[in-house]
Amino acid sequence: MSLPFVYEALPSRVVFGVGSLQKLPEEIDKLGVTRALVLCTPEQRAIGADIVVMLGARCAAVFDGAVMHVPVEVADAAREKAKRVGADCSVAIGGGSTTGLAKAIALTSELPILAIPTTYAGSEMTPIWGLTEGGVKKTGRDVRVLPKTVIYDPALTISLPVSLSVTSGINAIAHCVEALYSRDANPIISLIAEEGIRALAGGLPKVAKQPGSLDARSDALYGAWLGGVSLGAVGMALHHKLCHTLGGTFNLPHAETHTVVLPHAVAYNAGAAPEAMNRVARALGAASAADGLYDLAASLGAPVSLQALGMRREQLAQAADLAVQNPYYNPRPVTREGIRRLLENAFAGNRPTAES
Ligand code: NAD
């Protein structure tokens, strides 16, 4: 190990395994809290109600209005409810949108979070919050929003539809891939990131074949956890920046956009980060990182073109302009011409090329 590095461990407790949801009451007691506000989306009301039953007297109230990208009006309503019922913690059951709502509450009240993830997005392992006001999403880092306890129960992911499982899983792979060539890359997180890719690349095909298999779901959720750790520990680069721009400006769906863009962002960076690429390819069991990622998505029936997500060709120029507007770290310098070519390939769904 010739490069110097800085590594900072983030404090969180992880309880992983099929059936671990049963440990919720004792985990709440371990946190030293007694009045939980349960958070979920309207679509996950039923599982939210199960949590209320499990918590019994430890539950103060439910807020079932979590939605994508945490609109500030929703955050304010949930904060107001937490205050009104005297909640002393949030229990967030769901994907990144629900965890995001718990984080918004924690940002202004320091209410501790117990997160129970049901997708592979990874937000539960990061100190990153996001809030949307007037159509603009603001994000920031604050260790107060990092969940104190995370319960990963693979049984809760059985109901995640195969298409969302695949794209959400590739979203988690993207966290691992960019961690390997991050400006703050360090040997611990690189071990975690490579193992995360391996677990997801092995688990997702099994999930697609047998969505009800707890073994397959455990592999994928384990990989998603490692993806979340990677995202929370080190800075991301071109791929995440592009997806943030495409999602925010053109309202493209989060996990699907990650799935389409990843092979092309990787091809763009391949020459500038050879060691990271070797590790990605090794974890995928593929000859090249970019090809391996493209083939994984295509073989699982995931979308491979921005066109299929509803983007229009005339939006590519604006997307390229936005992607180069504010400078940010990337292993290969970001040029407008290079990004335009990358976006053309992603738009058409071409196999990624090194010149992207
Ligand atoms: P999501 O939370 O928006 O969930 C998508 C839909 O799937 C919702 O309707 C939800 O109720 C449903 N769902 C979730 N789990 C299910 C299950 N097991 N069975 C059936 N339905 C289920 O989607 P997501 O991809 O998890 O999260 C995306 C959001 O999270 C974005 O806003 C993204 O920016 C944010 N995010 C934040 C971070 C961070 O570190 N702050 C990290 C990753 C993602």
pLDDT digits over 24-52, tens only?
A: 999 999 999 999 999 999 999 999 999 99
130 lines ligand 1 (CB under 6 A): yes
243 lines ligand 1 (CB under 6 A): no
Say how far apart CA 279 and CA 269 lie, in whole Å.
14
69 lines ligand 1 (CB under 6 A): yes
What angle is formed at CA 41 by the lines to CA 39 and CA 42, rounded to 5 degrees? 120
Q: Flag whether pLDDT at 1 surpasses 70.
A: no
pLDDT for 2: 66
In this structure, the residue with its CA closest to atom 4 of ligand 1 is 95
- Stretch 69-97: mean pLDDT: 97
In this structure, the residue with its CA closest to atom 38 of ligand 1 is 123
Percent of the chain residues past pLDDT 70, beyond the cut:
99
pLDDT band of 136, cuts 50, 70, 90 = confident
pLDDT band of 10, cuts 50, 70, 90 = very high
pLDDT averaged over the chain? 96
Q: Flag whether pLDDT at 102 surpasses 60.
A: yes
160 lines ligand 1 (CB under 6 A): yes
Q: Flag whether pLDDT at 354 surpasses 70.
A: no
Q: Which of 254, 258, 259 most suits a substitution to test ligand 1, by most atoms within 8 Å of the C-beta?
A: 254
- Stretch 134-140: mean pLDDT: 84
Query: DSSP letter string over 81-149?
Result: HHHHTT--EEEEEESHHHHHHHHHHHHHH---EEEEE-SS--GGG--EEEEEETTEEEEEE-GGGS-SE
- Stretch 82-89: mean pLDDT: 98
pLDDT for 355: 55
**Torsion over CA: 71, 128, 29, 33 (sign):** negative
Closest CA to 116 of 149, 142, 88: 149
pLDDT band of 137, cuts 50, 70, 90 = confident
In this structure, the residue with its CA closest to atom 33 of ligand 1 is 96
pLDDT digits over 251-266, tens only?
A: 899 999 999 999 999 9
In this structure, the residue with its CA closest to atom 28 of ligand 1 is 96
Percent of the chain residues past pLDDT 90, beyond the cut:
90
- Stretch 51-57: mean pLDDT: 98
Ligand 1 mean position, distance from CA 15 (Å): 20
More confident of the two residues 250 and 15:
15
pLDDT digits over 174-196, tens only?
A: 999 999 999 999 999 999 999 99
Ligand 1 mean position, distance from CA 260 (Å): 18
